Amino acid sequence: MAGPAGLTDLETSCATDLRDAVGDWTAWLGQQRRVSPHTLEAYRRDLSGFLGFLTGHLGRRPSLDDLADLRPADFRAWLSARARAGLGRRSQARALSVLRGFFRWLQRGGLVENPAIGSLRAPRPAASLPRALTRDEAARALDTVAELSAEDWVGKRDLAVLMLLYGCGLRIGEALSLTAAQAPQPGQEALTVLGKGRKERVLPLLPAVIEAVQAYVAACPFALHAAGPLFLGKRGGALGPRRIQEKFRELRLLLGLPEDATPHALRHSFATHLLSAGGDLRAIQELLGHASLSTTQRYTAVDSARLLGVYDTAHPRARG
């Protein structure tokens, strides 16, 4: 059986029985699991790298029997080789996940059973810090949307969504799940939202947020029904997140914002800017709807400049 198209490295890095199994596995991923071509190619690269390592490690092209005989030390040697090559923890964890999936498939098919791979722990990815916009970047982004939306109901809608993300710290899904009956009204002081785990939280409302939402409601050409979605698309259906993401891509190009600036960055900015102004970490945890304080504590690393400033000002030994 010839190897699948595009698997030249796999065809030359393993024995015939293993090559055939790999071909069947990739076909199963594409046809049964409906894995996207991009993801399938990534899986192929990771498996090809592992089998190429085994060729050098064992001194021969590996077969199914060789996979069955591998010990934990062999798998750890592969991970060590990847680390020496400069591959990061996330790449390591992904490759190990792919390999575990392949071995599970082999076991279900009665081809290989090797419990050794189950003894490995995936390298824990380094905690990534939230990407927050600076105050100036956030202000310019919102001001630009406001200027461009002066005569456009769609622009007013986009501004209202972004104001909820930055002014209330909502997740984009939380903002888009609001019903028309939940539209903030003039004089309203708080907004109740349903977050992850169907947990409710109450958020203070800024007048600017209310004003943006009311401007959209007044300009929307479609009837808004109390139990229906607050934010509608151009054809009157519920608005999806892609449109808001596209709006932010436009802003990135227009304002020269960083590539990793996304709508979700406004939520991060909400938390970071509150913290830099002296906000209490536990209060910010409640506003964000984080189940664990450790999640919110990531923002202390983002705002390290403020914390150092507090240290320099307040600590007795920091004074000259």
Q: Judge whether 171 counts as a catalytic residue.
A: yes
Question: One of 61, 290, 298, 306 is an active-site residue; which one?
Answer: 290
Q: Judge whether 19 counts as a catalytic residue.
A: no
Q: Judge whether 315 counts as a catalytic residue.
A: no
Longest dimension (CA), the chain: 78
Residue 33 backbone dihedrals phi, psi, to 5 degrees: -85, -15
* H helix runs in 109-233, sequence order: 135-148, 153-168, 172-176, 207-219
Q: Judge whether 225 counts as a catalytic residue.
A: no
Q: Is 238 helix (H, G, I), strand (E, B) or coil?
A: strand
Q: Specify whether the CB–CB gap between 103 and 114 falls below 8 A.
A: yes
Residues in the chain: 320
Question: One of 60, 135, 196, 225 is an active-site residue; which one?
Answer: 196
Q: Judge whether 299 counts as a catalytic residue.
A: yes
- Contacting residues for 141 by C-beta, under 8 A, at least 6 apart: 133, 162, 248, 251, 255, 257, 266
Q: Specify whether the CB–CB gap between 95 and 49 falls below 8 A.
A: yes
Q: Judge whether 267 counts as a catalytic residue.
A: yes
Question: One of 19, 171, 268, 273 is an active-site residue; which one?
Answer: 171
Cβ atoms within 10 Å of 7's Cβ, excluding its own: 18
- Catalogue the active-site residues: 171, 196, 264, 267, 290, 299
